[in-house]
Structure 1
């Protein structure tokens, strides 16, 4: 299988974005945010990028491509 450098680049940019978002929101809210698993709707655990130790703050970082309409679900 051929190595896809564009995919590597996207993964790196998303990792940088996650780290930036984690530091930014941790500073603003004065809380330690980290990647943690959270039980969603009393079912299977789900991994999120920005979770406080007490699980009161839960967030996820998404990187969107350069397109006219965002690819995020509404």
Structure 2
């Protein structure tokens, strides 16, 4: 019985999932860049200082109702 097996250290491939596309990977922040992230019902407004992201404001995220089936 012959089988072809690809040996890899990538746990994602081992789990049966293809690797993430390049646009899914984190990009470096730029000084003064701002972004907003919604997490656990809160909106986190963050700003980059050239080295790391800082949370500048936390507010409740707007409630979005999913459409009924």
TM normalised by structure 2 equals 0.22
TM normalised by structure 1 equals 0.22
Question: Max radius of gyration: which structure?
Answer: 2
Higher share of residues assigned helix: 1
